Structure 1
Amino acid sequence: MKLSEIKEILTTLDNVEFKLENGTTVPEHFHVTEIGQINKKFIDCGGVIREERIINFQLWNANDFDHRLKPSKLLNIIKLSEDKLGIEEGEVEVEYQEGTIGKYDLDFDGSQFILKNKFTACLAEDSCGIPHEKQKIKLSTLGSGCCTPNSGCC
């Protein structure tokens, strides 16, 4: 989800709520402790140099159970990050700690922001030797007479 989409959604909400894909809700007393831009320059296993830029939100739970982040407050934090850090439009990634810090993509279901699981992948499958998965077929679908005695196939 892009930063502009989040800002647009926030103008329509009374409360800011997050939940994980598995249905677990982020406690309503969460804080957004950081908004930043992360620039990553790396090389993939095929030798291609790549660059990635994401906008990062960090969610944190504290012991202040009465805390509630309102949409207008989050919009103000986003505006401050744009003004002071020069953050531009980009995809948003959310950091949230359960057992360890996880990184999530973001979606919206009409009332809550959804923390979507991220997955690793090879970016250079053609050059790093990952075998393509063989298509599985049932021998029974090959038809009769294919490899029977006297069929001439062996």
Structure 2
Amino acid sequence: MTVTSFLELLRRYPDAGITIRLPDGNDVPAHFHITEVGHLVKSFIDCGGKRHHAGSCLLQVWVADDTDHRLTAGKLLGIFERTDGLLPSNELPVEIEHEAPVLTQMPVTGCDATPEELVFHTEFKKADCLAKELCIPDFSLPGLPGQSCTPGSGCC
């Protein structure tokens, strides 16, 4: 889910409560706080030597002892309105950072929306090789026949 679609939901349902559904089907306790809205940037090189840049909007979720606290969509929208200039684009994906049980970053993948509640769904990130055509024996891409990893070839 991009920042644009996330904000559209917050604007459409300002009085709605917010639920964050974790990948295991459990919900973050309802009295959570959003303690940070951040722009996360990752620059890296893959095992095939290609450089990449990735970015996201990271919402840090914190659960405190004030169990009477509830965050509404309008309140979260107000937090976002203070981020003017922080995010380079509203097309960044939104991720949740939560201790589940260790600090974990999870993409927001969708939302079940009603005027009463916005249930944001998350997934665990998955590792992947970005240079499969160079690294996996007998793996080839259309247009790159014969590109595979052989012993001693120097690929990853």
TM-score of the superposed pair, with normalisation by structure 1: 0.78
Unmatched 5+ stretches in structure 1: 133-154
User: Aligned residue pairs: how many?
Assistant: 131
Range 63-72 or range 108-117, more displaced: 108-117
Unmatched 5+ stretches in structure 2: 140-156
Instruction: Determine the C-alpha separation between the residues in 1 that align with 2:100 and 2:2.
Output: 24
Aligned-pair CA distance for 1:85: 2.2
Superposition map of 1:2-151 within 5 A = 2-13=2-13, 14-81=16-83, 83-89=84-90, 90-106=92-108, 107-110=110-113, 111-129=118-136, 132=139
Instruction: Determine the C-alpha separation between the residues in 2 that align with 1:88 and 1:79.
Output: 14
Tell me, yes or no, if the aligned pair for 2:21 and 2:28 is still in contact at 8 Å: yes
Q: Closer, same or farther in 2 for the Cα pair 1:130/1:27, shift >3 Å?
A: farther
CA RMSD of aligned residues (A): 1.6
- Name which one, 1 or 2, has greater alpha-carbon Rg: 1
Range 33-42 or range 122-131, more displaced: 122-131
Q: Closer, same or farther in 2 for the Cα pair 1:86/1:120, shift >3 Å?
A: closer
Aligned-pair CA distance for 1:88: 2.3
Tell me the alpha carbon deviations over residues 49-91 of structure 1, each in whole angstroms, 9 at most, x when there is no partner: 011111111111001111111111100111111x152442111
Q: What's the counterpart of residue 144 of structure 1? A: none
